[in-house]
Amino acid sequence: MRSRKILLISGDFVEDYEVMVPFQTLLTVGHTVHAVCPGKKAGETVATAIHDFEGHQTYSEKPGHRFRLNAAFDDVDAKDYDALVVPGGRAPEYLRLDERVLEIVRHFFRTNKPVAAICHGLQILAAAAVVEGRKCQAYPAVRPELTQAGAIWDQPSEGLDNACVDGRLVTAAAWPAHPAWLSAFLKVLETAESS
């Protein structure tokens, strides 16, 4: 396995599982992961939110953990990274307004590097105008943004537990898809063998 250097872009009220699980999983299998947030430095934290599916018309939200960043956003040079992870939660709704975030995302698509995005993280991809003609999944409420940006909607399973792979882009609807989403991303990263 070749160790990859991966950038993870987060922000306050990122979904707890969607930032912690990929961060820890990718480190566990031997990759280097730099977790960053605009306006914050290494050692600072972002607040997370726990989103759950409890039978309401949409997800519920509870306070999560503090997630410690291990790199500074201002030091990021996208050329130095092999792949990108974009978690969901509420952070993407304001991160998509940051032009530098969008330019970093565009770099990964221009250079055909692997990208994994989940849930509301695809709001950033839609704002960066990188999903046109690409098959994607996201939390169902993000579907209008994706289709207006030209994406091809791939309906997530009823349990929101499957993933979608389009070339080097791996997407999923929400954290119940972590096994499928991370497994697919590890294959794209050539960490795991393709079946």
Q: What is the DSSP letter of 53?
A: -
Nearest to 24 by CA among 57, 74, 70, 61: 70
pTM score, whole prediction: 0.96
Element (H, E) at 45: strand 45-52
Query: What whole-number distance in Å separates Cα of residue 191 and Cα of residue 195?
Result: 13
pLDDT in tens, 83-115: 999 999 999 999 999 999 999 999 999 999 999
What would the two tokens of residue 95 be?
């991160």
Catalytic residue among 31, 34, 51, 119: 119
What does CATH list as the number for 5-188? 3.40.50.880
Longest dimension (CA), the chain: 43
CB 7 within 8 A of CB 82: no
CB 86 within 8 A of CB 92: yes
What would the two tokens of residue 79 be?
């050329």
For residue 183, what pLDDT is reported? 98
Query: What whole-number distance in Å separates Cα of residue 4 and Cα of residue 1?
Result: 9
Exposure of 35 by Cβ count < 10 A (0-12 exposed, 13-18 middle, 19+ buried)? Answer: buried
> What pLDDT tens digit does each residue of the chain (195 aa) get?
789 999 999 999 999 999 999 999 999 999 999 999 999 999 999 999 999 888 888 888 999 999 999 999 999 999 999 999 999 999 999 999 999 999 999 999 999 999 999 999 999 999 999 999 999 999 999 999 999 999 999 999 999 999 999 999 999 999 999 999 999 999 999 997 765
Q: Give helix 16-28 / helix 178-188 axis angle, nearest 10°.
A: 40
CB 50 within 8 A of CB 63: yes
Q: What distances in angstroms separate CA 66 from CA 26, 73, 106, 108, one per listed residue?
A: 19, 17, 28, 28
Beta bridge partners of 7: 34, 84
Catalytic residue among 37, 120, 164, 178: 120
Is residue 51 part of the annotated active site? The answer reads: no
* Main-chain phi, psi angles of 10, to 5 degrees: -135, -175
Is residue 65 part of the annotated active site? The answer reads: no
